[in-house]
């Protein structure tokens, strides 16, 4: 019997520039169902952070409630974490980010936590353009309460009991595009080749980065008739292209045919290189992205990959002009300058 | 790459590194689990079936299994397999009722075994239960061969050897001890149906240097010295002894000399310390008994004064290695070194000698005067005569002799039945799921993190007083259990069924040593470096699946798999299963 993962690792395990192995980015062993898509996403986050050589103490993981929101325990065991109230992860992330703008924020949520109970919070965190990565682990059902249809379940998709869903789904990618997210992507838990570079790009992006990851629930939503089972998703994927993420320090070696590649240089100098599947796809045109997502949806396809990126976006700190120095590093005296200062501010407003 | 054919038993066999490396292919993890379950008698019998001398080998085996042990690649040290074997032997209860029944009615075939060492005794062990009548000849007063004459009693107590030799001779073998066979022709004239030669490599090499003849009274050949001590013809030696040679015999000579009155006993050897042939643990044991090693010293001369040995002169050398790793010993140019001594023990190798085999018996001998013996059937060019052990292909070790004995017994049985010797019986194999529940297996899948436990030794002062005191005390039951838990259960195989796989990546994500990769197919050379962890150990196989739905394949690098079962526990569709693989070499009959 083993709920224990041996500490032995590959004797020649690869190390990143910090001298960490992939296993140094692990968390506790998962208690989710065997084969859960969420575990693959955790592994992809581990892989992305390992490859980017992120210092674990520079990351804060935030989540709400649900199977997806349990997963921050299963990756980056040496990072900060906050498991908040159902649907309220965006508020906690906002507070944390305002207090310490220097950390890297990874929010993990699910389709229930975001598209139902947390819909209002989600809309506003996108609108505020908080500098964070917001991952929705989207399985189209409430796995923790035995698989009821969630707000992202497609019309006509069958539950495990055989009942068809009657309601229109909320498409979170379209929502994020409309609400002004500056990085929007969609992927599939079963496709790390695509998911890992997208995560790396999202982490490196300055601004609000949203990734909707379709993540099959093996226990309650992996049967024929469901539109979020492994097989259906694989059969209906249509990627905007292949994403290569090139960190700032590295030289771009691979070059593809002109016109087929769209290079997007990020804030920190690193490059997202999109090898496009369709020539007319432009990942920096919000309106066109929204249209392409809708068109694919009409065709019954799931458009994945990098959908939209805006590298000039301002995050909340620039919008409200906060101090460069994180608030949490200031003393009480600096944060509460006293009644005289208050008086001066009030005076200026009279 | 083509999908791995797991119906070929040799694939999973090579995953069980220890068993694969063992010449007799003893099912090691199987008996280690039995030890952990305190089933010592059963563990002993699993060994006995395969290697015939568990008590002897649990103390003296050359342990080819241990350098092969996967644990040695995962962490620093392999499982102490050899000493666990001894735990089974030390704690076994009565097992006589578990021994094969010997038919009262014989099959009418008579076999002669020349030499009562491990090879011949193994042939007897395999053929007696089949109804053969066996005559066993040996010049010594008791059976065991080199196990008795060359392995000192402080490493192998006589009672342990006697018990395991007698288990075989008690099957009704007609022993002819104190009988030196001086002519094979005489034996063949006795109309045996087959003759097995297991006479070992009985001649110790000598060094013919200036002064050899004059100093003869104080120079002894190592294995002859050990034999004369074992059979109590000698019980003392000079205070200052030089042991020439760097193999296990040299280690046994110096340690025996320390017990017979040798105070200043030195090992002098041509090669550097690292290149010495002795097993590392035997070197350690010799050094622990205050025996200094003089490496890079080439013997040049025996110094004799007034007709008596005074010492020896040596030339100092340095080892140089060419691009192919071939070694040459180059003199440093320094003056010769002189070591005083009273006695010299010569342990510079052994060789075969067959003065008692007439050369007109249709047995072909090659230019090195070795008989032509078939590597598979152990038959010589005279179809009635078989060879095994050191006598067949030169000096090896006990476990190799046992492996030869089993195969020769199969050949002799086939030969006596008039069947083809080249159609060898297939091994017995079995593959059974260990699944008992979602997180439950019928083997202890948790990987113990303990480092290798050291075997307790007797106090040096006491041990050096008496050559009959065993130095290694062996693991007690408690230590034995802890060491047994270090075994990774490599015989519990990860078996993959493509049709069930939904490619959720769960196995790949959970594997502690990252040995599973789902990836597009390719040639082995191209595939190995691009796995999640590059598979650089070319001696270890890749387990390749057939093409999956996405067009990818599953590749598992067997190199450092912990057999922890997590891939199977995390698999939602049971595409992975942990299945216990049992492999045993089929015996005669």
Is B551 exposed, middle or buried, given 0-12, 13-18 or 19+ CB atoms closer than 10 A?
exposed
Task: List the end-to-end C-alpha distance of chain B, in Å, as a whole number.
Answer: 39
**Contact B548/A at CB under 8 A:** no
Q: Is residue B338 part of a domain?
A: yes
State whether B338 and B267 are in the same domain.
yes
Residues in chain A closer than 8 A to B513 (CB atoms):
8-10
Q: Is residue B423 part of a domain?
A: no
What does R_g of chain A's alpha carbons equal in angstroms? 21
Residues B125 and B301: their CA atoms lie apart, in Å, by: 47
Domain coverage including residue B471: 9-97+432-484
Show the DSSP H helices in A205-338 as ranges: 230-236, 286-298, 316-320, 332-335
| Beta-bridge partners for B113 | B136, B196
The values of phi and psi at residue B127, to 5°, are -90, -30
Give the CB-side neighbour count of residue A278, counting CA atoms within 13 A: 16
For position A114, what pLDDT does the model report? 97
State whether B313 and B250 are in the same domain.
yes
Closest CA to B337 of B357, B317, B320: B317
Closest CA to B114 of B150, B145, B138: B138
Is residue B552 within 8 A of residue B526, CB to CB? The reply is no
**In the numeric block, which tokens belong to residue B221?**
């050949």
Q: What is the ipTM of this complex?
A: 0.89
- What pLDDT, in 10s, does the model give residues A157-196? 999 999 999 999 999 999 999 999 999 999 999 999 999 9
State whether B258 and B183 are in the same domain.
no
Virtual torsion, Cα A288, A294, A297, A301, nearest 10 deg = 0
Work out how many domains chain B is built from and give that number: 4
**In the numeric block, which tokens belong to residue B292?**
């200094």
Residues B403 and B396: their CA atoms lie apart, in Å, by: 11
State whether B28 and B78 are in the same domain.
yes
Q: Is residue B424 part of a domain?
A: no
State whether B190 and B301 are in the same domain.
no
Q: Which whole-number Å values give the CA distances from B43 to A349, B18, B27, B34, in the listed order?
A: 90, 16, 10, 5
Nearest by CB to residue B512, choosing from A9, A35, A231, is A9
**Contact B557/A at CB under 8 A:** no
**Contact B519/A at CB under 8 A:** no
Residues A7 and B449: their CA atoms lie apart, in Å, by: 8
Nearest by CB to residue B536, choosing from A9, A12, A36, is A12
Is residue B290 within 8 A of residue B257, CB to CB? The reply is no
| Beta-bridge partners for B268 | B244, B294
A255 has a pLDDT exceeding 60: no
Return all residues near B178 (Cβ < 8 A) that are at least 6 apart: B138, B139, B140, B141
Q: Is residue B524 part of a domain?
A: yes
State whether B84 and B113 are in the same domain.
no
Return all residues near B124 (Cβ < 8 A) that are at least 6 apart: B113, B134, B136, B168, B169, B171, B173
- CATH code of the domain covering residue B293: 3.50.50.60
- CATH code of the domain covering residue B499: 3.30.70.20
What angle do the packed helices B81-91 and B477-484 form, to 10 degrees? 140
Q: Which whole-number Å values give the CA distances from B238 to B77, B253, B291, in the listed order?
A: 39, 13, 15
Give the CB-side neighbour count of residue B267, counting CA atoms within 13 A: 35
Count of C-beta atoms within a 10 Å radius of residue B186: 11
State whether B196 and B213 are in the same domain.
no
DSSP E strands, chain A: 59-63, 80-83, 104-110, 132-138, 141-142, 148-149, 183-188, 208-214, 237-239, 241-246, 261-265, 271-276, 302-309
A130 has a pLDDT exceeding 80: yes
Torsion sign, CA atoms B11, B12, B15, B16: negative
Give the mutation candidate from A22, A35, A219 for the B interface (greatest B CB count, under 10 A): A35
Structural domains of chain A in order of their starting residue, each with its CATH number: 22-316 (3.40.50.970)
**In the numeric block, which tokens belong to residue B409?**
């017994």
CB pair distance less than 8 Å for A222 and B447: no
Interface of B with A in 71-110 (CB under 8 A): 73-75
Is residue A138 within 8 A of residue A214, CB to CB? The reply is yes
For position B431, what pLDDT does the model report? 96
State whether B182 and B209 are in the same domain.
no
CB pair distance less than 8 Å for A22 and B514: yes
- CATH code of the domain covering residue B64: 1.10.1060
Q: What is the per-residue burial (b if ≥16 Cβ within 10 Å, else e) of A40-53? A: bbbbbbbbbbbbbe
Helix (H, G, I), strand (E, B) or coil at B314: strand
Chain A's closest residue to B565, CA to CA, is: A2
pLDDT band at A258 (very low <50, low <70, confident <90, very high): low
Among residues of chain A, what percentage have pLDDT more than 70? 95
**Contact B575/A at CB under 8 A:** no
Q: Which of B468, B484, B500 lies at the terminal end of a domain, its last residue?
A: B484
For position B179, what pLDDT does the model report? 97
Q: Is residue B43 part of a domain?
A: yes
What angle do the packed helices B40-51 and B28-36 form, to 10 degrees? 160
State whether B221 and B316 are in the same domain.
yes
Give the CB-side neighbour count of residue A107, counting CA atoms within 13 A: 36
Closest CA to A226 of A171, A170, A160, A300: A160
Residues B270 and B314: their CA atoms lie apart, in Å, by: 9
CB pair distance less than 8 Å for A8 and B513: yes
- What pLDDT, in 10s, does the model give residues B362-417? 999 999 899 999 999 999 999 999 999 999 999 999 999 999 999 999 999 999 99
A272 has a pLDDT exceeding 90: no
Residues B203 and B350: their CA atoms lie apart, in Å, by: 5
- For residue B543, give how far its alpha carbon lies from the nearest alpha carbon of chain A (Å): 17
**Contact B509/A at CB under 8 A:** yes
State whether B217 and B182 are in the same domain.
no
What angle do the packed helices B28-36 and B81-91 form, to 10 degrees? 50
**Contact B69/A at CB under 8 A:** no
Give the CB-side neighbour count of residue B238, counting CA atoms within 13 A: 20
Cα angle B422, B428, B433 (rounded to 5 degrees) comes to 150
Nearest by CB to residue B74, choosing from A8, A29, A35, is A8
Nearest by CB to residue B506, choosing from A2, A5, A34, is A34
Q: Is residue B228 part of a domain?
A: yes
CB pair distance less than 8 Å for A35 and B514: no
Residues B85 and B147: their CA atoms lie apart, in Å, by: 17
pLDDT per residue as tens, chain B (589 positions): 999 999 999 999 999 999 999 999 999 999 999 999 999 999 999 999 999 999 999 999 999 999 999 999 999 999 999 999 999 999 999 999 999 999 999 999 999 999 999 999 999 999 999 999 999 999 999 999 999 999 999 999 999 999 999 999 999 999 999 999 999 999 999 999 999 999 999 899 999 999 999 999 999 999 999 999 999 999 999 999 999 999 999 999 999 999 999 999 999 999 999 999 999 999 999 999 999 999 999 999 999 999 899 999 999 999 999 888 898 999 999 999 999 999 999 999 999 999 999 999 999 999 989 999 999 999 999 999 999 999 999 999 999 999 999 999 999 999 999 999 999 999 999 999 999 988 889 999 999 999 999 999 999 999 999 999 999 999 999 999 999 999 999 999 999 999 999 999 999 999 999 999 999 999 999 999 999 999 999 999 999 999 999 999 999 999 999 999 999 999 999 999 999 999 999 999 8
Nearest by CB to residue A190, choosing from B505, B569, B571, is B505
**Contact B438/A at CB under 8 A:** yes
State whether B443 and B457 are in the same domain.
yes
A254 has a pLDDT exceeding 80: no
Segment holding A321, helix H or strand E: none
| Beta-bridge partners for B112 | B135, B195
Nearest by CB to residue B447, choosing from A8, A11, A35, is A8
Residues of A with CB under 8 A from a CB of B: 1-14, 22-23, 29-30, 33-37, 39-40, 42-43, 189-190, 192, 216, 218, 222, 230-231, 234
For position A1, what pLDDT does the model report? 38
- What pLDDT, in 10s, does the model give residues A23-73? 999 999 999 999 999 999 999 999 999 999 999 999 999 999 999 999 999
Residues in chain B closer than 8 A to A231 (CB atoms):
502, 549
Q: Is residue B543 part of a domain?
A: yes
State whether B236 and B369 are in the same domain.
no
CB pair distance less than 8 Å for B573 and A35: yes
Q: Is residue B56 part of a domain?
A: yes
Q: Which of B335, B350, B365 lies at the terminal end of a domain, its last residue?
A: B350
For position A280, what pLDDT does the model report? 77
Cα angle B563, B566, B569 (rounded to 5 degrees) comes to 125
Q: Which of B304, B320, B350 lies at the terminal end of a domain, its last residue?
A: B350
């Amino acid at each position: 019997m083993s709920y224990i993962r041996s500490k032995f690792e590959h004797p020649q395990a690869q190390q990143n520039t910090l001298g960490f192995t992939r296993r140094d980015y692990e968390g506790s062993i998962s208690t989710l169902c065997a084969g859960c898509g969420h575990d693959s996403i955790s592994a992809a986050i581990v892989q992305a952070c390992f490859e980017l050589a992120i210092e674990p103490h520079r990351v804060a993981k935030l989540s709400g409630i649900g199977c997806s929101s349990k997963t921050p325990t299963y990756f980056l065991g040496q990072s900060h974490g906050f498991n908040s109230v159902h649907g309220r992860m965006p508020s906690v992330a906002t507070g944390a980010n305002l207090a310490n703008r220097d950390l890297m924020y990874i929010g993990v949520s699910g389709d229930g936590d975001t598209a139902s109970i947390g819909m209002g919070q989600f809309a506003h965190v996108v609108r505020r353009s908080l500098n964070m990565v917001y991952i929705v682990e989207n399985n189209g059902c409430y796995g923790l309460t035995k698989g009821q249809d969630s707000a992202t379940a497609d019309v006509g998709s069958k539950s495990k009991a055989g009942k068809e869903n009657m309601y229109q789904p909320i498409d979170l990618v379209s929502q994020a595009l409309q609400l002004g997210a500056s990085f929007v992507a969609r992927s599939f838990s079963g496709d790390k080749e695509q998911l890992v570079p997208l995560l790396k790009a999202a982490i490196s992006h300055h601004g609000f980065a949203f990734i909707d990851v379709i993540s099959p629930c093996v226990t309650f939503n992996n049967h024929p008739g469901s539109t979020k089972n492994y097989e259906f998703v694989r059969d209906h994927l249509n990627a905007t292209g292949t994403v290569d993420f090139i960190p700032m320090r590295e030289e771009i070696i691979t070059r593809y045919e002109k016109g087929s590649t769209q290079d997007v240089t990020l804030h920190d100098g690193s490059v997202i290189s999109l090898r496009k599947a369709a020539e007319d796809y432009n990942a920096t045109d919000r309106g066109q992205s929204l249209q392409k997502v809708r068109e694919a949806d009409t065709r019954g396809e799931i458009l994945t990959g990098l959908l939209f990126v805006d590298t000039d976006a301002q995050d909340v700190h620039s919008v409200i002009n906060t101090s460069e120095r994180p608030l949490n590093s200031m003393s009480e005296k600096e944060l509460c300058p006293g009644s005289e200062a208050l008086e001066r501010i009030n005076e200026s407003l009279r | 790459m083509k999908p791995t054919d797991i119906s070929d038993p040799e694939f999973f066999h090579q995953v069980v590194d220890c068993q694969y490396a063992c010449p007799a292919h003893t099912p090691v993890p199987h008996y280690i689990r039995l030890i952990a379950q305190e089933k010592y008698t059963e563990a002993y019998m699993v060994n006995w079936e395969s290697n015939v001398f568990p008590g002897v080998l649990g103390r003296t085996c050359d342990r080819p299994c241990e350098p092969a042990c996967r644990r040695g690649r995962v962490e620093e040290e392999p499982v102490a397999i050899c000493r666990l074997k001894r735990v089974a032997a030390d704690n076994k209860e009565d097992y006589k009722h578990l021994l094969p029944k010997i038919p009262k009615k014989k099959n009418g075939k008579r076999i002669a075994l020349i030499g009562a060492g491990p090879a011949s005794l193994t042939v007897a062990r395999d053929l007696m239960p089949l109804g053969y009548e066996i005559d066993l000849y040996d010049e010594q007063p008791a059976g065991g061969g080199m196990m008795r004459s060359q392995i000192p009693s402080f490493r192998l107590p006589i009672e342990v050897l006697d018990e395991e030799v007698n288990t075989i001779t008690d099957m009704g073998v007609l022993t002819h001890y104190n009988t030196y066979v001086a002519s094979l022709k005489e034996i063949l004239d006795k109309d045996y149906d087959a003759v097995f030669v297991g006479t070992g490599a009985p001649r110790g090499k000598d060094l013919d240097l200036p002064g050899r003849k004059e100093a003869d009274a104080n120079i002894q050949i190592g294995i002859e010295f050990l034999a004369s001590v074992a059979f109590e013809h000698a019980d003392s030696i000079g205070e200052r002894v030089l042991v020439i040679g760097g193999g296990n015999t040299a280690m046994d000579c110096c340690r025996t000399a320390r017990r017979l009155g040798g105070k200043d006993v030195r090992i002098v050897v041509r090669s550097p310390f690292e290149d010495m042939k002795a097993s590392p643990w035997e070197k350690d044991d010799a050094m622990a008994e205050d025996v200094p090693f003089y490496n890079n010293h080439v013997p040049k001369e025996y110094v004799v004064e007034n007709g008596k040995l005074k010492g020896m002169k040596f030339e100092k050398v340095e080892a140089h290695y060419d691009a192919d790793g071939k070694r040459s010993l180059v003199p440093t140019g320094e003056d010769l070194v002189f070591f005083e001594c009273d006695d010299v023990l010569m342990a510079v190798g052994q060789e075969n000698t067959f003065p008692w085999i007439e050369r007109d018996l249709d047995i072909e001998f090659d230019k090195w005067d070795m008989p032509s013996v078939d590597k598979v059937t152990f038959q010589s060019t005279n179809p009635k005569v078989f060879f095994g052990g050191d006598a067949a292909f030169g000096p090896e070790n006990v476990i190799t002799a046992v492996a030869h004995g089993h195969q020769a017994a199969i050949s002799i049985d086939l030969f006596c039945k008039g069947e083809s010797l080249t159609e060898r019986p297939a091994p017995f194999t079995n593959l059974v799921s260990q699944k008992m529940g979602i997180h439950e297996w019928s083997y202890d899948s948790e990987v113990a993190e303990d480092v290798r436990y050291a075997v307790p030794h007797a106090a040096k002062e006491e041990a050096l007083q008496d050559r009959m005191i065993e130095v290694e005390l062996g693991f007690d039951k408690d230590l034995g259990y802890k060491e047994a838990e270090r075994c990774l259960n490599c015989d519990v195989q990860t078996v993959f069924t493509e049709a069930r796989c939904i490619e959720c990546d769960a196995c790949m994500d959970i594997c502690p040593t990252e040995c599973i990769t789902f990836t597009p197919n390719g040639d082995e050379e191209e595939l190995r470096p691009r796995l999640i962890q590059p598979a650089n150990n070319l001696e270890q196989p890749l387990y390749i699946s057939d093409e999956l739905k996405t067009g990818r394949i599953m590749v598992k690098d067997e190199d450092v798999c912990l057999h922890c079962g997590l891939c199977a526990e995390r698999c939602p569709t049971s595409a992975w299963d942990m299945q216990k693989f049992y492999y045993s070499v089929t015996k005669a009959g």
